[in-house]
Amino acid sequence: MVLPKMNVVSLATLALLWSGCSLLEKEFETGRNVESNLRDEGQDDDATGSDGSDGRPGGDGTDPGSTDDGSGSSDDGDAGGDSSGDSGGETGSSNDDGGSGETERVDCTPGAVPVMGNLDTCISDVLTCGSSVITTTEGGNSVMDADDYLAWFCVVPDGDYIGSERTYNITVPAGQKATFTLESPCDDLDIFALRWELWESSELCPDYGNSVIECEADDSREGGEVEVFADPAQDTNYLVIIDGPDAEQAAFALDIACE
């Protein structure tokens, strides 16, 4: 049987339409499945804290990046370095002596070094080998002057030495060398080492009328150093005198070394 032409066209059209609807439904279903899979994968990634396949950052609960903020090892590292650097710079700048960190041994501030008393008319104290003292000529003995130093052939005086001085009795062991070192950063003081046995034996003070066996001196500014050699056969007594040529009253340090 031959169908009318119009009916054949209608059947073909219906078949085509049915086929297209099936394809659309299949594509729609496939798209939903893909979207569902992507969403599920993104949730899995969020749960672990790593970046998901959908391009979003990891989950908020266990974000590894939060450990950086907590420790400060990454974000705060620069700040820590800057802080320590600034602190170091400030510490260095507090040193007025060029950053060496060293302080003056003798404090020249008036009254910083206490005034000491004296043992008798001409002796301030008795010291020994290895002694180190920091004191001041202020309040010392006022016995020695330029006439004495000239008469004992210690030095040709460059002042009158009429101010107070500090005089120490020191016994140097037989055959040893003694070095007396003066540090005088506050004012001009000189050092004298006079061999004198009579204070130890009779408490007699020397003056320009006495003859002495030996006298050494150093009148360098800001200190000085003298060396003496004890009698090889017996211990030898010396008077070490710290005096100012123009009556200076100042703090000083004295070190005694024997060998």
Q: What is the pLDDT of residue 102?
A: 53
Distance of alpha carbon 195 from alpha carbon 230, whole angstroms: 9
Collapsed DSSP state (helix, strand, coil) of residue 83: helix
Instruction: Give the right CATH number for 125-258 from 3.40.1180.10, 2.40.50.140, 2.60.120.380, 3.40.50.300.
Output: 2.60.120.380
Residue 223 confidence (pLDDT):
86
Report CA-CA distances (Å) from 66 to 52, 72, 158.
Answer: 17, 10, 79
Q: For residue 72, give the amino acid letter.
A: G
Contact 238, 170 (CB under 8 A): yes
CA-to-CA separations, 122 to 160, 188, 199, in angstroms, rounded: 18, 21, 9
Order the strands of the 236-243 sheet from edge to edge: 125-127, 166-172, 236-243, 190-195, 215-218
Say what the pLDDT of residue 158 is.
87
> Taking a C-beta distance cutoff of 8 angstroms, is the pair 182, 225 a contact?
yes
Three-state SS at 84: helix
Q: Tell me which residue of 175, 217, 210 sits closest to 196, measured CA to CA.
A: 210
pLDDT at 48: 44
pLDDT in tens, the chain (259 residues): 444 444 444 444 444 444 544 444 554 454 455 444 445 444 444 444 444 444 444 445 444 444 444 444 444 444 444 444 444 334 333 334 444 445 689 999 999 999 999 999 999 999 999 999 999 999 999 999 999 999 999 998 889 999 999 999 999 999 999 999 999 999 999 999 999 999 999 999 999 999 999 999 999 887 899 999 999 999 999 999 999 999 999 999 999 999 9
